[in-house]
Amino acid sequence: MKTQLIWLKPGQHQIETRLATKEEQTILVLGWFQNQDQTQVELTIRHQAAQSHSQILIRVGGQDQARIKVQTRIIIEPQAQEAQAELQSKTLLLDQAQAQVQPELEIKTNQVRASHAASIGSLDPNQLFYLQQRGLKPQQARRQLIRAFFHQGTWFKNQSIQKQLTNYLSSL
Amino acid sequence: MNKTIKTTGLTHQTVVSISRHKSEPKWMLQRRLQALKLFQARALPTWGADLSQLDFSQFRYYRPAPTKPQTRWQDLPPKIRTTFEKLGLPQAEQEALAGIKAQYDSEIIYSSLKQRLARKGVVFVSMEEGVQQYPQLVRQYFGRLVPPQDNKFAALNTAVWSGGSFIYVPPKVKVAIPLQAYFRINSPHFGQFERTLIIADEGSFLHYIEGCTAPTYSSASLHAAVVEIFVKPRARVRYTTIQNWSTNVYNLVTKRAWVEEEAVMEWVDGNLGSKVTMKYPCCILAGPKAHGEMLSLALASHQQHQDTGAKMIHLAPQTSSQIVAKSIAKDGGRTSYRGLVKIAPRAEGARSQISCDALILDPQSRSDTYPLNQIETAKAIVEHEATVSQISQDQLFYLTSRGFDEMRARALIVAGFIQPLVKQLPLEYAVELNRLIELEMEGAVG
């Protein structure tokens, strides 16, 4: 199984991945934006052959006046029988940040399983309150929860990814 | 009655003769002509379904019905009566459903309105009667939500509209029985351009049902309706459509609702027929705590493309919306979900939930999902999920091991898949829809 890690930076990104027979890929897309940052991502996953599997996990978010556009397209071509594709996207918005999320599917055959889930939201006020009640300052509580947002799930078992992520988050 | 008026092709003259034939006031003719200009100036949309086969000069834009509007069933000409009987209309009447508006070709020839509705002040008339009898209301609301500038087909409809319903429900009046409109296209080269306007005043309730069936013809037909609904504070409107056009019909519809404070708008939409359907009912949630709902089903068979979806535009705080879209593609058909959820900066505390499920029954069919979620405030929650799959082998195995043959088992699984929508329909429609799906599933074992 191949794992790709993509760190988003402000600006435009165009990423296309093609999957061959029985190829399995996990793609992680991560990014945090602040101030007047603008980012636009177009991610295309093309299943061209049978029994290919893809898993895409997206965690992006922003604060201040950040503007985020994420467009993902999973295409399963007619010859890609028994393909499986899964996309999970979460977007965290704080302050005046805005997002546009477009998770698209184009499925051209039947022996497949494709799904996507996308959610957009803010921090849970209950969690913020809980952390502050335990003595954290509002800013600390907020930072803590932003880190937790990136740590969700169990896909960071990969040591090097784990390390990169920790480094990135400590710079926030 | 059947004056020969020039109605094939789309020209200034066509529009003038339609308006004259309906003895319309001047302002309506002016709106039609203005819309015609907009229609001609605008190019066909390039996104979405393939419309390149559309030839607007081919269609007939108006065709007067053979008789004047009637109120009594037995007064209807026998031929038309049999057509309606096949549609099950008399039964619906017997079952004390509310006033039935049956549209034969483009004019309403049969209309009956239950007296108790009239006593409550509910207005349920054809759009033409609306223009004549309630000019002030119509003039105020007509085209306010879907102006001709909106899109090419809204302009077309405004220019040549004919038929449709005008409904007004006074404050706090609850219409307990669904109001129904049945209509039918049965002439080749003939387009239908219904225009429906519904105003539900404060605290009222209305359920409106439209169902349509059409016989098959060799040349393409065009259906471009516009529906405008105003849901005033605390009112609730449900609009149910079961659409089963013949497979040569282009169904290009604009439906929009303006939902005010604490009001609820529900669209229930089943698209089974037609060659191409492009339909994205919209709720503009304009007042605080307004709620919009969309429940849709699309079934695409051989050479059909169902490009359907929903739009939820959250403009006010605490507004909420829900979209449930189900689709089935078979025999090389194509279903597309195309949706928009927009949360404006003012809509703090807004919530939206979208779920799209698609079934693909054979390798030739295709299913797409094109959702767009625009979130302009950090104080909102949007959740979107979609799945595309084939009929589960486990479910199939289970049912066949219990003694169902494969075809029956598949039909049952599909019936289960669309259950959330069917459950929301009045009984006779649910029965009809289930029967239609069963028919469609025949021979779909692959």
Give a yes or no: residue A66 inside a domain. yes
Measured between beta carbons, which residues in chain A are less than 8 angstroms from residue B370? 102, 104
How far apart (Å, rounded) are the C-alpha atoms in residues B27 and B29?
5
Residue A33 contacts residue A97 (beta carbons within 8 Å): yes
A145 with A157, same domain: the answer is yes
Q: Which of A91, A95, A107 sits opposite B366 (nearest CB)?
A: A107
Report if residue B231 sits inside a domain.
yes
Largest interatomic CA distance in chain A: 58
Q: Which residue on chain A is closest to B381 by alpha carbon?
A: A121
For A149, the domain range is 123-167
pLDDT at B215: 44
| Residue B208 covered by a domain | yes
Contact B431/A at CB under 8 A: no
Q: Which residues in chain B show pLDDT less than 70?
A: 1-8, 63-115, 181-191, 212-220, 442-446
- Tally the domains of chain B: 2
Same domain, B336 and B433: no
Q: Are residues A79 and A158 in the same domain?
A: no
For helices A138-151 and A125-133, give the axis angle rounded to 10 degrees: 120
pLDDT band at A156, cuts 50/70/90?
low
pLDDT, tens digit, 9 for 90 and up, residues A89-103: 999 999 999 999 999
Give the chain B residue nearest A93 (alpha carbons): B378
Q: Identify whether residues B184 and B207 lie together within a single domain.
A: yes
Report yes or no: B189 at the A interface, CB cutoff 8 Å.
no
Tokens of B184: 């039918």
Within this chain, do residues A116 and A136 fall inside the same structural domain, yes or no?
Answer: no
**Domain interval for residue B172:** 12-405
Pairing of strands B305-314, B282-285: parallel
Residue at A161 is within a domain:
yes
**Tokens at A167, concatenated:** 């480094």
Q: Point out which residues pair with A44 in neighbouring strands.
A: A16, A73
Q: For position B97, what pLDDT does the model report?
A: 30
Contact predicate B307/B276, CB 8 Å: yes
Q: Is B445 on the interface with A (CB under 8 A)?
A: no
Q: Do residues A90 and A112 share a domain? A: yes
**A61 within 8 A of A97, measured Cβ to Cβ:** yes
Question: B386 touching A, CB under 8 A?
Answer: yes
Residues of A in contact with B379 (CB under 8 A): 122
Are B412 and B391 contained in the same domain? no
Task: Provide the angle, in degrees to the nearest 10, between the axes of the packed helices A138-151 and A159-170.
Answer: 160
Q: How far is CA B411 from CA B246, B394, B414, B416, B444, in A?
A: 22, 15, 5, 9, 9
Residue A172 lies in a domain: no
Q: With cut-offs at 50, 70 and 90, classify the pLDDT of residue A16.
A: very high
Q: Measuring CA to CA, how many Å separate B42 from each of B36, B47, B277, B428?
A: 10, 14, 20, 41
| B381: contact with A, CB 8 A cutoff | yes
Position B102 scores a pLDDT of 46
Q: What percent of chain A has pLDDT over 90?
A: 77
Of B370, B378, B388, the CB nearest to A94: B378
How many folded domains does chain A comprise?
A: 2
How confident is the model at residue B106, as a pLDDT?
40
Kindly indicate the confidence band of residue A128, based on its pLDDT and cuts at 50, 70 and 90: very high
Q: Looking at the structure, do residues B127 and B91 belong to the same domain, yes or no?
A: yes
Phi, psi (degrees; rounded to nearest 5) at B373: -115, 115
Say yes or no for a CB contact (<8 Å) between A112 and B360.
yes
Could you tell me if A157 and A91 lie in one domain? no
Contacts of A118 in chain B (CB under 8 A): 371, 373, 382-385
φ and ψ at residue A102, rounded to 5 degrees: -135, 85
Hey, is the C-beta of B360 within 8 angstroms of any chain A C-beta? yes
Domain identity same for B430 and B371: no
| Contact call for residues B330 and B361 (beta carbons, < 8 A) | yes
What is the rounded CA–CA span in Å between residue B348 and residue B380?
6
**B51 assigned to some structural domain:** yes
Query: Does the distance separating the beta carbons of A78 and B385 come in below 8 Å?
Result: no
Question: Which of A105, A106, A119 is the closest to B383 by Cβ?
Answer: A119
Cα dihedral B215, B267, B152, B29 sign = positive
The answer on A163 and A85 residing in a single domain is no
Residue B6 lies in a domain: no
Residues of chain B in contact with residue A40, where contact means CB-CB under 8 angstroms, are none
B124 in any annotated domain: yes
Do B83 and B133 lie in one domain? The reply is yes
Q: How many angstroms separate the CA atoms of B356 and A53, rounded?
A: 21
Nearest CB neighbour to B371, from listed A95, A99, A103: A103
Task: Give the residue from chain A lying closest to B339, CA to CA.
Answer: A102
Please write down the HEC assignment for all residues of chain A.
CEEEEEECCCEEEEEEEEECCCCEEEEEEEEEECCCCEEEEEEEEEECCCCCEEEEEEEEEECCCCEEEEEEEEEECCCCCCCEEEEEEEEEECCCCEEEEEEEEEECCCCCEEEEEEEEECCCHHHHHHHHHCCCCHHHHHHHHHHHHHHCCCHHHCHHHHHHHHHHHHCC
Same domain, B369 and B352: yes
**Same structural domain, A85 and A118:** yes
Dihedrals φ, ψ of A109, to 5°? -150, 175
Same-domain status, B62 and B119: yes
Using alpha carbons, list the distances in angstroms from residue B442 to B188, B409, B410.
28, 11, 10
The conformation of residue B58, written as its DSSP 8-state character, comes to: G
Does residue A101 sit in the same domain as residue A130? no
Q: For residues B435 and B296, state if they share a domain.
A: no
Q: How far is B339 from chain A (nearest CA, A)?
A: 10
Phi, psi dihedrals of residue B440, rounded to the nearest 5°: -65, -30
Work out the average pLDDT over A9-27. 93
B50 touches A: beta carbon within 8 Å = no
Maximum pairwise Cα distance, chain B: 69
Cβ contact (<8 Å) for A111 and B372?
A: no
Contact (Cβ atoms closer than 8 angstroms) between residue B305 and residue B329: no
Q: Residue A13 above 80 pLDDT?
A: yes
Same domain, B185 and B322: yes
User: Do A85 and A28 fall into the same domain?
Assistant: yes
Cross-strand bridge partners of residue B242: B211, B270
Residue B306 lies in a domain: yes
Mark whether A60 and A145 lie in a shared domain: no
Q: Tell me phi and psi for residue B20, to 5 degrees.
A: -65, -40
Chain B residues within an 8 Å CB radius of A114: 387-389
A30 and A58 inside one domain: yes
Residues B382 and B414 in one domain: no
CA atoms within 13 A on the CB side of A48: 7
Task: Please give the residue that has the higher pLDDT: either A153 or A6.
Answer: A6
A67: in domain: yes
From first CA to last CA, the distance across chain A in angstroms is 30
| Chain A contact set for B375 (CB, 8 A) | 91, 93, 98-101, 120
Question: Residue A148 falls within a domain, yes or no?
Answer: yes
Of A99, A14, A86, the closest CA to residue A57 belongs to: A86
In a domain, A26, yes or no: yes
User: How far is A21 from B385, CA to CA, in rounded Å?
Assistant: 27
Residues A106, A140 share a domain? no
- B371 — contact with chain A (CB < 8 Å)? yes
Q: For B205-274, what is the HEC assignment?
A: EEEEEEEEECCCCCCCEEECCEEEEEECCCCEEEEEEEEECCCCEEEEEEEEEEECCCCEEEEEEEECCC
Are B308 and B428 part of one and the same domain?
no
Best mutation target among B369, B381, B393 (most A Cβ atoms within 10 Å) is B369
